[in-house]
Amino acid sequence: MTKVNFETGLNGPEPIALEATCSSDMQKELSDYPLTGRFLMGRLRHAMGDREKEILESSITEVVDFDKGHRLVTRGEKCNHSTMLIEGFALRTIVENGRRYVVGIQVPGDFVDLHAFALKRLDHDLVTLGPAKVGYVPHSRLQDLMNSEPHLSRLFWFSTLLDAAIHRQWTLKLEQLKAYRRVAHLLAEIWYRLEMVGLAHSDGFRTPLTQTDLADMCGTTAIHMNRALRALSREGVAEFRRGNVTVTDRKNFEKHGDFNPTYLYGQGDLYIGAELTRD
């Protein structure tokens, strides 16, 4: 383990360089594959051969930087490429009756609209949370890979199934938990996911999330979200200040959020299909 600096799209006075724990394996991956090195990291990346990693990296035909709030994908519009999130965050949002709802959050390394390859039109928007860097893969290219690379295709499929597993967990937690535990669960999930791609630190993590964003993800109001966050703070469970999440006792924190990471299919959880690791 070694330390490495990273940048998230913060809106603070000056961009604070944070220490993120990042193994040397991970560092090598990121220098070898600067655009797609985080894809499936912490999950089945080890199942990708070097050739497959090269194929994926070279499939990105265009890299673009966006400011916060840019709509990457519009609900109902036809897509001819899919988008790899290289840096920054994105939300899956749906605006109805003048109110915004968030049904998912994506972190670096996520192939955010890979499902648009098969669905062509999405039922939601994808919006950058802070500044973000993305890479595009044309659907024609994915089409070719479907025909010539069955193993890589299976990994793509797997990655969309991870999203589905996360959706199920969100559904579960909305059914099961009150606002206080719901945020705790959400923050625990984001922390875990950032950790898998080397973007968390030992006391927490940083995002450009506002309390309103959290409210829209938890199906509550910004006002009630504020009550929940203050309660978490009052109990000494976690601090959320302007997107900066700080936790002292992680076990305790995850207990408050009723968080069990197996649904994220991390590679340490021995929960993953062995067949996918072999060609």
Partner DNA sequence: TTTCGAAATTAACTTTGGTCAAGAAAGCGG
Partner DNA sequence: CCGCTTTCTTGACCAAAGTTAATTTCGAAA
Q: Is 34 in the site for its own copies (CB under 8 A)?
A: no
Residues 111, 211, 238, 257: which binds DNA (CB under 7 A)? Answer: 211
Q: Residues 129-168: x/- map of binding to DNA (CB under 7 A)? A: ----------------------------------------
* Separation of alpha carbons 22 and 34, rounded Å: 15
Binding segment for DNA among 8-16, 23-31, 79-87, 89-97 (CB under 7 A)?
A: 8-16
Q: What is the chain written as a DSSP string?
A: -EEEEE-----SSS---EEEEE-HHHHHHHHH-TTTTTTTTTTTGGGS-HHHHHHHHHH--EEEEE-TT-EEE-TT-B-SEEEEEEES-EEEEEEETTEEEEEEEE-TT-BTTTTHHHHSB-SSEEEESSSEEEEEEEHHHHHHHHHH-HHHHHHHHHHHHHHHHHHHHHHHHHHH--HHHHHHHHHHHHHHHHHHTT--BTTEEE----HHHHHHHHTS-HHHHHHHHHHHHHTTS-EEETTEEE-S-HHHHHHHTT--GGGG--GGGT-S-GGGG--
Nearer to DNA, 11 or 248 (CB): 11
Per the CB < 8 A criterion, the answer to whether 107 and 56 are in contact is no
Q: Residues 165-204: x/- map of binding to DNA (CB under 7 A)? A: -------------xxx------------------------
Nearer to DNA, 153 or 233 (CB): 233
Q: Residues 205-234: x/- map of binding to its own copies (CB under 8 A)? A: -----------x-xx---------------
CA-based torsion, 22, 46, 84, 31: positive or negative: positive
Q: Is 274 in the site for its own copies (CB under 8 A)?
A: yes
Binding segment for its own copies among 4-12, 58-66, 95-103, 188-196 (CB under 8 A)?
A: 95-103
Q: Is 271 in the site for its own copies (CB under 8 A)?
A: yes
Residues 38, 92, 181, 256: which binds its own copies (CB under 8 A)? Answer: 92
Angle at 93 between CA 88 and CA 95, to 5 degrees: 145
Binding segment for its own copies among 31-39, 142-150, 185-193, 231-239 (CB under 8 A)?
A: 142-150
Q: Is 154 in the site for its own copies (CB under 8 A)?
A: yes
* 124 closest CA partner among 101, 95, 94: 94
Site for its own copies in 68-87 (CB under 8 A): 76
Least Å from the CB of residue 11 to its own copies: 25
Q: Is 242 in the site for DNA (CB under 7 A)?
A: yes
Applying CB under 7 A, the site for DNA has a residue count of 22
Per the CB < 8 A criterion, the answer to whether 82 and 136 are in contact is yes
Residues that bind DNA (CB under 7 A): 11-13, 178-180, 210-212, 219-224, 226-230, 242-243
Residues that bind its own copies (CB under 8 A): 76, 92, 94, 96, 99, 101-104, 115, 117-121, 123-124, 139, 143, 146-147, 150, 153-154, 157-158, 160-161, 163-165, 167-172, 174-176, 216, 218-219, 258, 262-263, 265, 271-276
